[in-house]
C-alpha cells in the first residue's frame, strides 16, 4: 500500500516533538516532509537564554541533528518558507518554487515577535529575540557596542537583558506596565525581582512607552531611543521583547479559521480536518500557549490522532513560570492574582528578599507566586494540577513539603542548595551533576526522560521531588511537568483510573480483551502494565477473571523473594507473630538440610530463610509444612501484635487474638501494593500500629482504628479513622477499608498514597458513616478471599507453574 | 545444512510445550546457565541467564513482545540479540536456537564454550 503523505510546515520544538511521538506510535504510516524557514535543524529554543548568557553553546542546544531526520526517512527542506497552501489541490508551495502534495498537513509555524509600530523600528541594530540569528547578533553587538535597551519587561525581555549585561553591556529595560512580568507576578514579587536585578546592574524604566527610535548621523544604525514625555537615552542595540503573536498569516491566507491563533479542537485539528496545528501558532479553547510543557502535551495528542489511534484528547494545561536568570529564584503558576471567591495566604520578608503567596479556592490551591525561596514550587504545582483538597494541610501549607527527602539523599530537600557532587538518588547513586548534564546534553524535558536516561528516581521514587526541582531549575519555564493525567505506561495513553473504569463497566475479564478494547500499542504489554492489568482484573472480577502468573513479577510467580544473586528467601507465615516449638524445630531442620546461609528475624515478627536455590523451593515448603507468608507479594504481609492482656500488666485488649483473627481473615489477599497491619493491646502501642496500613489500638472501652501509615521511604503516621467496640467490628471496618483500597487505588499505590488522593472524608463516608456501603465492601472482600489457596501447598489451584523449579540439566555435550 | 551434520551440530534441549508461554526455562550447561524463552508467537530464544547490568537472572523476568525485563533493576533486553534496549547499554550472549517439529535445539559448540 502506498504511504500517506504528511507535510509539516515549521521545524521547531512542538512540531518535531509531534513527529517523534508519531514515529514512536507508527513509523511506517507516513511519508514525512518537513519545511523549516531557519537554516538549522530543530534546536532547543528555551536554551537560547543560557547561550546568550554564555553558559552554553549553540552546538549543545541542537535537539535533532541532521542524521536524525535522515535515519527516520524524513525529507527535510531547510531555509525554505512556505508561501501558499492550496487546500483544494492539497499542495504547499515554498518561496523557491518547491511544490509538495499532502494527505495530511501539520502547521507548526510558531510565533512572531511583536514589533512596536514606531518610527525607526526597521533600523539596523533593532532586533527581536526569537532565534539563533537574533542570539548571534546580540552576542556580536555586545563585543562592539556599549548601550542596550530592551523593550519589554516580561520573561523573554529580562532573560535577554540579563544575558546582555553578562556580556558587558549597559542595559536598560523599558516596560509599559506598572511592574515587571505583570502576567506572571503580582506587584510585591515583581518589586523584589526588580530590586535584585538592579543589584546585578540592570536599569529599569517602568510605565514608559516608546515614541521613536532614532538613527545616528550617518543614518545606518540606531543611536537613541525616545520615550513619550520626551526622555531620550543612547541605544546601540534595541531588543524588541514586547510579546509574541501566533504566526497565522499562512493559515489565514489558506482560509483556515484563526482567532488569536489557528483555531484547533481537542484533537488539534483545524477547521479543515486534514490540517492540524500544534504549538505557539495554535489556539485551543481560546488560549495560545507559549511554553513548552503544554506544547508537548499537544504534540502527544496530535501524534496519537495522526497515527489513527484517535483516543487522546487535549484538554488544556495549567502552566507555570520560572525565570532562567542565575541567582534569581522566582516561580508563579495558575491564578496567582486571586479575585472573587478566592482566599490568599501570604508570607512576606521584604528585607530578606522572600515572598510567597498562595491562592486558594474551595479548599484547592489554584495559584502560587513566589520569590526568593522556590524550593517547594514543584510541590505546589503538583497540588494544583492534581486539584487535591488542601483543607487538612492548610495550616502548614505555606511551609512547604518539608518532609520530602526523608531518607536516601542526605536530608536534602532543596535541589538548588546542593552541589553537583551531592547524591540525589540514593538507590542508584545518581548525583545532581549527572542529572543536570543529562538534561542539558540529551535534551530532556520530563521526569520520565530523566528516569530513563539517568535512572534517578526510578527505584524507590523518594527523590522524585528533588529531580523535578532540578528539571525546573535547569529548564526554567519550559520544564514539562508530569501531565496531570498520567498514562499507565508507554503501551497506552489511558490512566490507571480509566483502565479500572473500563474493566468494570465493560466487564472485561482477560488481558487480551483489555488490550484489544482499549487499543494497546503492544501485543502483550510490558513489565509495567501487565502486573497492573492482572491485578485490576482479578480484583474487579474475583473467581471469574483468571490470574496470569506470567504477568506477575517474579516474586509472585515463584512465591518467594528474589535476591541479588538469583537465590530466594522463604518466610513462612506465623499468624500474629505466634509460633510453636514444633514449627521452630522444622525451620531449624530445613535451614540445616538446605544449608541456608542466613536465618534472620524480620521486622514483621517472623523468620526469614535467605539464600535458597530456586529448584529447592518446593521441597523447602513441603518440609516446613507452614503456610506461605506472602512476604514476596503485593498482598497482605503480616499482622504484627504485642502481647496484650493475656500476659501484659498494661494490656486492655487481647491483641494477639485479634491479630491472629485478622491475619487469618486476610490470608491470600492481593492488593495494589503490600499491606501491613498491627494490633496493640494498649496505647503504649508496642506493635507500632502508627506506621501501618491499618493500625489497631486497644483501649479499655474498645478499639481505635488508624489507616494510611507507612514506615518506609517516607515515614507517615497513620490517621485516625474511627473507634469501635467489638472484635467483629474491627474486622468489618478494617476489611471494608482494605476492600475500598483494593477496588480504587492505582497499582503500586500504598494506602497512604490512596488516602492522600481521595481524602479522609471520602473514606470515612464509605466506611464509617454509610453502614450499607461498609457491609457491602466487607462482603465483597470476604467473597474474594473465600477458599484462597495456599500457593506453597496447592500448586494447581494457586496457578503455580512448577516447571520453573526444574532446571534442565545438560550433563554431557558432545557427539552422541 | 545437510542432515548428516545436523545431528552433530545440534543438541536436543526440550520441547516448546515445556516452556511456558511468555515464560522461560533454565538450562544448566557447561557454558553456564542459559535461559530459553518462549513468546506469545511461540518463538523461542536463548540468552545467557545473566543481565549485562548486574548479572540478574533474566529467566525470571517478565517476557513481552521480543523482550524480557530483568527482575533486578528492570533493564529491557532484546531477546533476539541479547542486548539491552536503549538508553541502557550492554549485551548478554545470545545463543542460536533451532525449533523443528516443536523440538528445541541448541548448538553443541555454543553450549560448551564458557562465558564469564
pLDDT tens sequence across A728-759: 999 999 999 999 999 999 999 999 999 988 88
pLDDT at A683 over 80: yes
Residue among A534, A535, A548, A554 with most chain B CBs within 10 A, to mutate: A554
Do A522 and B64 lie within an 8 Å CB cutoff? Answer: yes
Q: Is B32 on the interface with A (CB under 8 A)?
A: no
Determine contact, residues A743/A720, Cβ cutoff 8 Å. Answer: no
pLDDT at B112: 83
CATH of the domain at B75: 2.102.10.10
Cβ–Cβ under 8 Å, residues A500 and A535: no
Q: What is the pLDDT of residue A429?
A: 77
Residue of chain B whose Cα is closest to the Cα of A807? B26
Inter-chain CB proximity B28 and A809 less than 8 Å: yes
Any domain includes A277: yes
**Alpha-helical segments (H) within A518-654:** 529-540, 554-558, 581-593, 617-624
A608 with A710, same domain: the answer is: no
Q: What is the DSSP string of A204-254?
A: EE-S--EEEEEE-TTSSSEEEEEETTS-EEE-SEEEE-S-EEE--HHHHHT
Q: Report the 10 Å Cβ neighbour count for A386.
A: 13
Q: What pLDDT is stored for residue A631 in this prediction? A: 96
**pTM, rounded to two decimals:** 0.69
Handedness of CA A467, A473, A478, A481 (dihedral sign): positive
- 8-state DSSP, A581: H
Give the torsion through C-alpha atoms of A498, A500, A503, A506, to 10 deg: -50
Whether A325 has a pLDDT exceeding 60, the answer reads yes
* Residue A2: per-residue pLDDT: 81
Q: Say yes or no: A571 and A528 in one domain.
A: no
In Å, how far is B32's CA from the nearest CA of chain A?
10
What secondary structure letter does DSSP report for A183? T
- Bigger pLDDT: A726 vs B86: A726
Q: What residues of chain B lie within 8 A of the CB of A455, using their CB?
A: 73
pLDDT at residue A295 tops 90:
no
Asked whether residue A576 falls in the same domain as residue A438, the answer is no
Phi, psi of A621, rounded to the nearest 5 degrees: -60, -45
Test the A interface: residue of B50, B62, B97 with most A CBs within 10 Å: B62
Positions in chain B short of pLDDT 70: 1-7, 114-116
- Please tell me the predicted confidence (pLDDT) of residue B116: 47
- How many structural domains comprise chain A? 6
Residues A530 and A455 in one domain: no
Name chain A contacts of B26, Cβ cutoff 8 Å: 807-808
Cβ–Cβ below 8 Å for A814 and B63: no
User: How far is Cα A235 from Cα A238, in angstroms, rounded to an integer?
Assistant: 7
Q: Is the pLDDT of residue A811 over 90?
A: no
Alpha-helical (H) ranges within A38-131 are 48-52, 66-71
Mean pLDDT of A662-685: 96
Residue B27 and residue A804: Cβ atoms within 8 Å? no
Residues above pLDDT 70, as percent of chain A: 95
Sheet with strand A104-107: strands edge to edge:
A75-78, A30-36, A4-9, A104-107, A275-277
Nearest C-alpha of chain A: how many angstroms from B92? 16
Nearest residue, CB atoms, A550 vs list B13, B22, B26? B22
Nearest CB neighbour to B72, from listed A453, A531, A564: A564
pLDDT score at A322 = 66
Q: Select from A524, A530, A550 the Cβ nearest to the Cβ of B20.
A: A550
Nearest-5° angle of CA A601, CA A602, CA A606?
Answer: 75
Asked if B60's CB is within 8 angstroms of A558's CB, the reply is: yes
Of B20, B57, B108, the CB nearest to A813: B108
A295 inside domain: yes
pLDDT band at A40 (very low <50, low <70, confident <90, very high): very high
Q: Do A807 and B23 touch (CB under 8 A)?
A: no
Q: Dump pLDDT digits (tens) for A257-281.
A: 999 999 999 999 999 999 999 999 9
- The verdict on residue B2 lying in a domain is no
| pLDDT band of A24, cuts 50, 70, 90 | confident
Residue A63 is assigned to a structural domain of this protein: yes
Which is nearest to A777 in space by CA: A738, A751, A722?
A: A738
Whether A405 has a pLDDT exceeding 50, the answer reads: no
What angle (nearest 5°) sits at the alpha carbon of residue A141, between those of residues A138 and A142? 85
Distance from CA of B71 to the nearest CA of A (A): 7
For range A565-581, the mean pLDDT: 96
Q: Is A355 domain-assigned?
A: no
Domain end call among A261, A281, A306:
A306
The per-residue pLDDT for A485 is 60
Residues A70 and A216 in one domain: no
Instruction: For residue A803, give the nearest of B25, B28, B71 by CB distance.
Output: B25
Same domain, A673 and A601: no
**A703: in domain:** yes
- For the ranges A258-267, A296-305, A428-437, A610-619, which has the lowest average pLDDT? A428-437
Q: Does B12 touch chain A (CB under 8 A)?
A: no
In a domain, A702, yes or no: yes
- Do the domain assignments include residue A461? yes
Tell me whether residue A393 is in a domain: no
User: Which of the four pLDDT bands, split at 50, 70 and 90, describes residue A694?
Assistant: very high
pLDDT at A814 over 60: no
Both A269 and A190 in one domain: the answer is: no
What one-character DSSP code corresponds to residue A96? T
Separation between Cα atoms, residue A778 and residue A773, nearest integer Å: 9
Nearest chain B Cα distance for residue A566, angstroms: 6
| Residue A480 pLDDT greater than 60, yes or no | no
Residues A494, A607, single domain; the answer is no
Domain with B45, as residue range(s), is 13-106
Tell me if A566 and B112 make a contact (CB, 8 A cut-off): no
CA atoms within a 13 Å half-sphere pointing along the CA-CB vector of B115: 21
- Predicted confidence at residue A782, as pLDDT, reads 97
Residue A170's domain comprises 126-242
Distance CA A281, CA A278 (A): 7
pLDDT at A410: 55
Verify that A670 and A695 share a domain, yes or no.
yes
Structure confidence at residue A443 (pLDDT) = 78
Q: Which residue of B has its CA nearest to A452?
A: B87
d(CA A638, CA A629): 8
Residue A438 sits in a domain whose CATH number is: 1.10.10
Q: Taking CB atoms and an 8 Å limit, are A554 and B69 in contact across chains?
A: no
In contact, A312 and A267? CB cutoff 8 Å: yes
Work out how many domains chain B is built from and give that number: 1
Is B79 within the bounds of a domain?
Answer: yes
| Confidence at residue A326, expressed as pLDDT on a 0 to 100 scale | 64
Residues A528 and A656 occupy one common structural domain: no
Nearest CA in chain A to B58: A566
CA triple B89-B90-B92, angle to 5 deg = 145
Of A527, A551, A557, the CB nearest to B74: A527
Arithmetic mean of pLDDT over chain A: 90
Closest-CA residue of A relative to B113 is: A813
Instruction: Quote the CA–CA distance of A562 and A449 in Å, as a whole number.
Output: 28
**What is the distance in angstroms between the Cα of B19 and the nearest Cα belonging to chain A?**
8
**A586 and A531, same domain (yes or no):** no
Instruction: Report the SS3 class of residue A4.
Output: strand
Q: For residue A809, list chain B residues with Cβ-Cβ distance below 8 A.
A: 27-28
pLDDT, one tens digit per residue, over A116-145 is 999 999 999 999 998 999 999 999 999 999
**Would you say residue B82 lies in a domain?**
yes
A contact set with B (CB within 8 A):
452-453, 455, 458-459, 522-527, 530-531, 550-551, 553-554, 557-558, 562, 564, 566, 801, 803-804, 806-810, 813-816
Closest CA to A735 of A642, A660, A687, A663: A663
Cell numbers linked to A546? 483468571
Question: Quick one: average pLDDT of A514-543?
Answer: 95
Give per-residue pLDDT as tens, A408-446: 555 566 777 778 888 888 777 788 889 988 888 887 888
Q: CB distance A554–B71 less than 8 Å?
A: yes
A526, A551, A562: residue with CB nearest B71:
A562
Q: Are A485 and A496 in contact (CB under 8 A)?
A: no
pLDDT at A681: 95
CA-closest candidate to residue A126, choices A107, A104, A150, A145: A150
On whether both A661 and A563 belong to a single domain, the answer is: no
CATH number at residue A234: 3.50.50.60
Look at residue B71 and tell me if it is in a domain: yes
Question: What is the SS3 string spanning A377-395?
Answer: HHHHHHHHHHCCECHHHHH
Cβ neighbours for A493, distance < 8 A, ≥ 6 positions apart? A300, A304, A309, A311, A312, A487
B85 inside 8 A of chain A by CB: no
Read off the CATH number of the domain in which A619 is found: 3.30.70
> What three-state secondary structure class fits A610?
strand
- Interface touch B57/A562, C-beta < 8 Å: yes
Amino acid at each position: 500500500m502506498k504511504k500517506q503523505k504528511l507535510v509539516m510546515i515549521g521545524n521547531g520544538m512542538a512540531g518535531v516533538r509531534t513527529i517523534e511521538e508519531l514515529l514512536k506510535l507508527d513509523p511506517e504510516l507516513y511519508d514525512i516532509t518537513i519545511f523549516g524557514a531557519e537554516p538549522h535543524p530543530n534546536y532547543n529554543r528555551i536554551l537560547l537564554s543560557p547561550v546568550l548568557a554564555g553558559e552554553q553553546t549553540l552546538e549543545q542546544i541542537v535537539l535533532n541533528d541532521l542524521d536524525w531526520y535522515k535515519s527516520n526517512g524524513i525529507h527535510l527542506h531547510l531555509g525554505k518558507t512556505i508561501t501558499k497552501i492550496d487546500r483544494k489541490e492539497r499542495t504547499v508551495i515554498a518561496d523557491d518554487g518547491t511544490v509538495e502534495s499532502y494527505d495530511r498537513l501539520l502547521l507548526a509555524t510558531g510565533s512572531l515577535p511583536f514589533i512596536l509600530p514606531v518610527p525607526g523600528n526597521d533600523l539596523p541594530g533593532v532586533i527581536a529575540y526569537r532565534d539563533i540569528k537574533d542570539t548571534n547578533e546580540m552576542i556580536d553587538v555586545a563585543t562592539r557596542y556599549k548601550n542596550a535597551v530592551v523593550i519589554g519587561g516580561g520573561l523573554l525581555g529580562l532573560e535577554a537583558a540579563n544575558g546582555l549585561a553578562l556580556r558587558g553591556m549597559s542595559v536598560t529595560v523599558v516596560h509599559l506596565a506598572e511592574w515587571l512580568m505583570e502576567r506572571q507576578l503580582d506587584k510585591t514579587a515583581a518589586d523584589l525581582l526588580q530590586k535584585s536585578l538592579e543589584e546585578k546592574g540592570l536599569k529599569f524604566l517602568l510605565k514608559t512607552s516608546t515614541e521613536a527610535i532614532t538613527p545616528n548621523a550617518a543614518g545606518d544604525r540606531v543611536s537613541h531611543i525616545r520615550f513619550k514625555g520626551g526622555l531620550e537615552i543612547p541605544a546601540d542595540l534595541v531588543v524588541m521583547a514586547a510579546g509574541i503573536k501566533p504566526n497565522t498569516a499562512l493559515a489565514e491566507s489558506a482560509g483556515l479559521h484563526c482567532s488569536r491563533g489557528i483555531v484547533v479542537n481537542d484533537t488539534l485539528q483545524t477547521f479543515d480536518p486534514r490540517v492540524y496545528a500544534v504549538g505557539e501558532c495554535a489556539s485551543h479553547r481560546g488560549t495560545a500557549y507559549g511554553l513548552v510543557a503544554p506544547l508537548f502535551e499537544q504534540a502527544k495528542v496530535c501524534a496519537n490522532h495522526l497515527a489513527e489511534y484517535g483516543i487522546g484528547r487535549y484538554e488544556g494545561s495549567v502552566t507555570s513560570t520560572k525565570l532562567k536568570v542565575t541567582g534569581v529564584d522566582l516561580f508563579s503558576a495558575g491564578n496567582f492574582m486571586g479575585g472573587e471567591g478566592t482566599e490568599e495566604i501570604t508570607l512576606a520578608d521584604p528585607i530578606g528578599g522572600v515572598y510567597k503567596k498562595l491562592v486558594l479556592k474551595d479548599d484547592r490551591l489554584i495559584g502560587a507566586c513566589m520569590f526568593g525561596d522556590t524550593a517547594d514550587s514543584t510541590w505546589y504545582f503538583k497540588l494544583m494540577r492534581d486539584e487535591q483538597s488542601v483543607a487538612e494541610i492548610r495550616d502548614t501549607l505555606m511551609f512547604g513539603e518539608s518532609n520530602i527527602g526523608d531518607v536516601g539523599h542526605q536530608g536534602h530537600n532543596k535541589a538548588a542548595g546542593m552541589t553537583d557532587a551531592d547524591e540525589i538518588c540514593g538507590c542508584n547513586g545518581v548525583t545532581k551533576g549527572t542529572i543536570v548534564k543529562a538534561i542539558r546534553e540529551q535534551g530532556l524535558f520530563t521526569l520520565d526522560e530523566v528516569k530513563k536516561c539517568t535512572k534517578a528516581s526510578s527505584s524507590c521514587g523518594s527523590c522524585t521531588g528533588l529531580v523535578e526541582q532540578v528539571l525546573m531549575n535547569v529548564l526554567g519555564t519550559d520544564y514539562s511537568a508530569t501531565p496531570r493525567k498520567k498514562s499507565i505506561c508507554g503501551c497506552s495513553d489511558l490512566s490507571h483510573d480509566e483502565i479500572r473504569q473500563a474493566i468494570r463497566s465493560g466487564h472485561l475479564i482477560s488481558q487480551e480483551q483489555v488490550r484489544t478494547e482499549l487499543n494497546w500499542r503492544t501485543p502483550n504489554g510490558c513489565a509495567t502494565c501487565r502486573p497492573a492489568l492482572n491485578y485490576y482484573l482479578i480484583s474487579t472480577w474475583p473467581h471469574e477473571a483468571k490470574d496470569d502468573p506470567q504477568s506477575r513479577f517474579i516474586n509472585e510467580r515463584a512465591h518467594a523473594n528474589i535476591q541479588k544473586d538469583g537465590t530466594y528467601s522463604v518466610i513462612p507465615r506465623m499468624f500474629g507473630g505466634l509460633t510453636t516449638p514444633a514449627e521452630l524445630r522444622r525451620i531449624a531442620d530445613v535451614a540445616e538440610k538446605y544449608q541456608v546461609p542466613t536465618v534472620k528475624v524480620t521486622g514483621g515478627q517472623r523468620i526469614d530463610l535467605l539464600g535458597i536455590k530456586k529448584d529447592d523451593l518446593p521441597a523447602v515448603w513441603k518440609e516446613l509444612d507452614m503456610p506461605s507468608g506472602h512476604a514476596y507479594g503485593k498482598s497482605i504481609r503480616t499482622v504484627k501484635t504485642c502481647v496484650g492482656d493475656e500476659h501484659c500488666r498494661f494490656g486492655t485488649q487481647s491483641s494477639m487474638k485479634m491479630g491472629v483473627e485478622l491475619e487469618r481473615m486476610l490470608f491470600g489477599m492481593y492488593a495494589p501494593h503490600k499491606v501491613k497491619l498491627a494490633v496493640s493491646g494498649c496505647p503504649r502501642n508496642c506493635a507500632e500500629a502508627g506506621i501501618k496500613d491499618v493500625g489497631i489500638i486497644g483501649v479499655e472501652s474498645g478499639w481505635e482504628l488508624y489507616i494510611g501509615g507507612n514506615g518506609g521511604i517516607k515515614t507517615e503516621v497513620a490517621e485516625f479513622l474511627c473507634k469501635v467496640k467489638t472484635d467483629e467490628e474491627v474486622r468489618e471496618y478494617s476489611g471494608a477499608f482494605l476492600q475500598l483500597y483494593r477496588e480504587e487505588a492505582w497499582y503500586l499505590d500504598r494506602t497512604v498514597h490512596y488516602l492522600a488522593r481521595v481524602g479522609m472524608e471520602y473514606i470515612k463516608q464509605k466506611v464509617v458513616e454509610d453502614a450499607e456501603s461498609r457491609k457491602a465492601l466487607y462482603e465483597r472482600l470476604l467473597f474474594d478471599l473465600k477458599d484462597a489457596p495456599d500457593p506453597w501447598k496447592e500448586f494447581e489451584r494457586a496457578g503455580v507453574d512448577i516447571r520453573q523449579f526444574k532446571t534442565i540439566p545438560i550433563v554431557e555435550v558432545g557427539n552422541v | 545444512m545437510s542432515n548428516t551434520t545436523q545431528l552433530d551440530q545440534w543438541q536436543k534441549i526440550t520441547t516448546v510445550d515445556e516452556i511456558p508461554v511468555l515464560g522461560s526455562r533454565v538450562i544448566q550447561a557447561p557454558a553456564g546457565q542459559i535461559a530459553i524463552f518462549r513468546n506469545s508467537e511461540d518463538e523461542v530464544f536463548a540468552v545467557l541467564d545473566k543481565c549485562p547490568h548486574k548479572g540478574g537472572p533474566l529467566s525470571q523476568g517478565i517476557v513481552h513482545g521480543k523482550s524480557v525485563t530483568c527482575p533486578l533493576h528492570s533493564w529491557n533486553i532484546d531477546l533476539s540479540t541479547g542486548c539491552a534496549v536503549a538508553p541502557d547499554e550492554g549485551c548478554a550472549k545470545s545463543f542460536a536456537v533451532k525449533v523443528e517439529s516443536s523440538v528445541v535445539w541448541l548448538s553443541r559448540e555454543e553450549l560448551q564454550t564458557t562465558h564469564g
